[in-house]
Chain A
Amino acid sequence: MDYAWLAPVLPIGAFALNVLIWRQMGARKHALSALTTLAAIGGAFLVFLAVFSDASSHLEGTATSSGLHLIFEDTPWFTVGVSPHLYVFAPTLVVDWLSIMMLGVVTFLAFLIEFYATGYMKGDNRYWWFFSVKALFTAAMLGVVLSYNFLLMYICWELVGLCSFLLIGFWYSERANAEAAKKAFITTRVGDVGFFIGLALLFIKTGTFDMKATFAAVESGAIDPATVTIAGILIFLGAMGKSGQFPLHVWLPDAMAGPTPVSALVHSATMVAAGVYLVGRSYPVFHASSTTMGVITTVGTITAIFGATIALTQRDIKRILAYSTISQLGYMIMALGVGAYTAGLFHLFTHAFFKALLFLGAGSVIHSMEPVLSGTGRNPNDIFNMGGLRKQMPVTFWTFLLASLSLAGIAPLAGFWSKDAILVGAYEADAWLPLFVALLTAFLTAFYMFRCIYLVFFGPAKWQVATAAGDHHDSHSTDHVKGRHAVPHESPWTMSLPLVLICVPAIAAGWIGIPGFSAGFAETVRFGPVIEEHINLVLAGAGTLAGVLGIGLATLMYLTPVSGPRLISESFPAAYKTLYNKYYVDEMYQWIIDHVVLAIAAMAATVDRKILNDRIVDWCGPFLQGAGARLRLTTSGYIYHYAFGFIIGIMAIGVVMSGGIPDMRFALW
């Protein structure tokens, strides 16, 4: 398993090759970089397979210290300070079942999504740069997954953030995209500062960034509990920023400005899961303090219901999925908070597949809507501009439906098993409020997903009306508008093949965790002893019922021609507006920035201008000029003046070297 380091190194090599060599290749650089990236990520996937088969026979499953395989544990990376304050850092990598799971998810999805992107991004004039950044992203993400040293992890963590910034702002010529990229970067930075301070606190107490030593110190009680709590909450801040937890979630919906493959890989399946992974990886720190666990549970619970309710009213298909992601991440965090370690990470595992599938499906829809709606000024992402697409796009429809069912938690799809595990976990922890919220969220999730499906794939083809209204008043001539192919069509095979392939884990990924049938997940990715899991039929039934109810309500409201939605939104205008405007969180931040941050900035600017600049900086120049004008007079040009200074200086040196007047022994003798 020692070769696991190859997994991040291959993509970073691809990145280097792309930006250093292929870049010079003119038009060929696009194909070359796409191929290199695909090959490298495919190689990383092979590394995963090899590690997986090795680990199956060698590794005990546990997330604590005994079931780990560490690489480069004794390799010096760099040292700081001198003995006795000498700190040696090692770039330790870890192979345990948690990192193997993430390795598999990241490499598998990255490969398929890269493949999908070869079709989706076709014709973009920065095609090669897209793949280069994706390669860098994959490398950094694998670095986060494998590192067992907080410092190394933090570096990769920031690299991931950088790639996210570059990819969200990939089409930066549109101002909104550039703004979204900036927002994502700055918002996650808020969390990352907390993360960094938390790491610094732990470093002060333990003198190391090595996770093994840190966890040992925490578990042995070598660090006082208050520090553990504070450090845990600060580190959790980083996870909150990355995983879009309330109130640092605001960047994630805006991040959908990036190309859809980016949304699928970075902002739903892998990078945003890094926060959950961080919580899973650093669980000993959190677990040691019930306060931290309470904070985690609270944040996760609020986020779960918060994201789900906002998703009810959104019109942009990718934003619906984004809020769904926020809600599901809240779900995982909540599970981790109540102590259902396996369940939370299991949900991370299954969610990655079906959410990536949903995003790829959405991308496929948008890809085909764009040419239809171009020129009409209507948003191709708006689900109210779609409709009836199941005939035009059968593959997309069926895969999207399947992923939605999985997300809604319908047995026997992947989502059912992980959602059920979380419900059981919350029940066994006697966390009644999270359990209730989880059920409610499951209901809402099913509802908004099927609202989306009905509006996109069923009902009247609103895009037809749109094109007709936009160009002619004759609906029969729409096929020939400006000679363009104005009917949505199924996407090319490069895009639909990954859809079909990801279906497999979206259906089956949950089966490895079925209690009593194949409890591989529960035995391997765990914290502490193996817990014998069993199906709680009441909870399973309740979860499924919530999903079915949600689907049924959506069917009633959106499939049948009842004017249900309008009725509701008009009867509760305040609630509707609050949800549609996402609880006004963005507005609140804007207000804070306008009235608090800018006020402080104005004060700082005044201090800078009036005191630092006018008083101190402006005073420096004249002072030096004046001093120079006076000091100039000492260079008289007379030798005896210089000689006088010389002799006085020599005498001073003599006195100093002799160690003072009384004993004139010269020190050098």
Chain B
Amino acid sequence: MVPIEHIMVFTGALFCIGVYGVMARRNAVLVLMAIELMLNAVAINLVAFGTLVYPGQINGMVFAIFVVTIAAAELGLGLAIVLRVYRMRSSINVDDIDLMRW
């Protein structure tokens, strides 16, 4: 198997792509997709450490399962909010949603 550093670089890149997506995208659904990328990067990292650095230990995998669970819940809620916002403002562009502005 590959060295752990390579996996870390891979997941780091995936995470940063997610960050870029969150910050650059206008469409709220695309923002949610980018968040999924970030979550996945973290989950891969957990599993990789569990398998390669602490072989035989199960915690990394368990954490990953929880991450998947939370991701599912988060996505469900996020999409519900998106739908709601769309119904209110007929738009899901995040730069139209500036209620918290000065």
Do A and B come into direct contact in the complex, CB within 8 Å? yes
- B33: shortest Cβ distance to chain A, in Å? 15
Knowing that A636-B98, A636-B101 are A-B contacts, what are 19 other residue pairs whose CB atoms are under 8 Å apart, sorted by A's residue number? A632-B102, A633-B102, A635-B100, A635-B101, A636-B102, A637-B98, A637-B99, A637-B100, A637-B101, A638-B94, A638-B95, A638-B98, A639-B23, A640-B22, A640-B23, A640-B94, A643-B23, A644-B23, A647-B19
Interface flags, A356-382, vs B, CB<8A=1, else 0: 000000000000000000000000000
Chain B hits for A636, CB < 8 A: 98, 101-102
Could you name 25 residue pairs across A and B whose Cβ atoms are closer than 8 Å? A632-B102, A635-B100, A635-B101, A635-B102, A636-B98, A636-B101, A636-B102, A637-B97, A637-B98, A637-B99, A637-B100, A637-B101, A638-B95, A638-B98, A639-B22, A639-B23, A639-B31, A639-B94, A640-B22, A640-B23, A640-B24, A640-B94, A643-B19, A644-B23, A647-B19
* Chain A residues numbered 604-646 whose CB sits less than 8 Å from any CB in chain B: 632-633, 635-640, 643-644
- B13: shortest Cβ distance to chain A, in Å? 15
Interface flags, B1-33, vs A, CB<8A=1, else 0: 000000000000000000100111000000100
Interface residues in B, total, Cβ within 8 A: 13
Query: Which B residue sits closest to A636, measured CB to CB?
Result: B101
Chain B hits for A644, CB < 8 A: 23
Chain A hits for B31, CB < 8 A: 639
* Chain B residues numbered 54-102 whose CB sits less than 8 Å from any CB in chain A: 94-95, 97-102
Chain B hits for A632, CB < 8 A: 102
Binding site for B on A (CB under 8 A): 632-633, 635-640, 643-644, 647
* Chain B residues numbered 27-52 whose CB sits less than 8 Å from any CB in chain A: 31
How distant is the Cα of A635 from the Cα of B19 in the complex, in angstroms?
20
Query: Which B residue sits closest to A643, measured CB to CB?
Result: B23
Nearest 5 interchain pairs by C-beta = A637-B101, A637-B98, A640-B23, A632-B102, A635-B102
How distant is the Cα of A252 from the Cα of B10 in the complex, in angstroms?
90
Chain A hits for B97, CB < 8 A: 637
How distant is the Cα of A644 from the Cα of B24 in the complex, in angstroms?
11
Chain A hits for B24, CB < 8 A: 640
Query: Which A residue sits closest to B19, measured CB to CB?
Result: A647
Chain B hits for A639, CB < 8 A: 22-23, 31, 94
Query: Which A residue sits closest to B31, measured CB to CB?
Result: A639
Highest count of chain B CB atoms <10 Å: which of A633, A640, A643: A640
- B52: shortest Cβ distance to chain A, in Å? 16
How distant is the Cα of A633 from the Cα of B102 in the complex, in angstroms?
7
- B97: shortest Cβ distance to chain A, in Å? 8
How distant is the Cα of A332 from the Cα of B1 in the complex, in angstroms?
100
Highest count of chain A CB atoms <10 Å: which of B23, B97, B101: B23
- A634: shortest Cβ distance to chain B, in Å? 9
Query: Which A residue sits closest to B22, measured CB to CB?
Result: A643
How distant is the Cα of A632 from the Cα of B100 in the complex, in angstroms?
12
- B49: shortest Cβ distance to chain A, in Å? 11
Chain B hits for A643, CB < 8 A: 19, 22-23
Query: Which A residue sits closest to B98, measured CB to CB?
Result: A637
Query: Which B residue sits closest to A641, measured CB to CB?
Result: B23
Chain B hits for A633, CB < 8 A: 102
How distant is the Cα of A635 from the Cα of B98 in the complex, in angstroms?
10
How distant is the Cα of A639 from the Cα of B100 in the complex, in angstroms?
10
- B29: shortest Cβ distance to chain A, in Å? 14
Chain A hits for B19, CB < 8 A: 643, 647
How distant is the Cα of A638 from the Cα of B23 in the complex, in angstroms?
10
Chain B hits for A635, CB < 8 A: 100-102
Chain B hits for A647, CB < 8 A: 19
Query: Which B residue sits closest to A635, measured CB to CB?
Result: B102
Query: Which A residue sits closest to B16, measured CB to CB?
Result: A647
Query: Which B residue sits closest to A638, measured CB to CB?
Result: B95
Chain A hits for B23, CB < 8 A: 639-640, 643-644
- A562: shortest Cβ distance to chain B, in Å? 97
Chain A hits for B99, CB < 8 A: 637
Query: Which A residue sits closest to B94, measured CB to CB?
Result: A639
Chain A hits for B98, CB < 8 A: 636-638
How distant is the Cα of A138 from the Cα of B98 in the complex, in angstroms?
72
How distant is the Cα of A647 from the Cα of B19 in the complex, in angstroms?
9
Chain A hits for B100, CB < 8 A: 635, 637
How distant is the Cα of A643 from the Cα of B31 in the complex, in angstroms?
12
How distant is the Cα of A632 from the Cα of B102 in the complex, in angstroms?
6
- A266: shortest Cβ distance to chain B, in Å? 66
- A654: shortest Cβ distance to chain B, in Å? 12
How distant is the Cα of A638 from the Cα of B100 in the complex, in angstroms?
9
Chain A hits for B94, CB < 8 A: 638-640
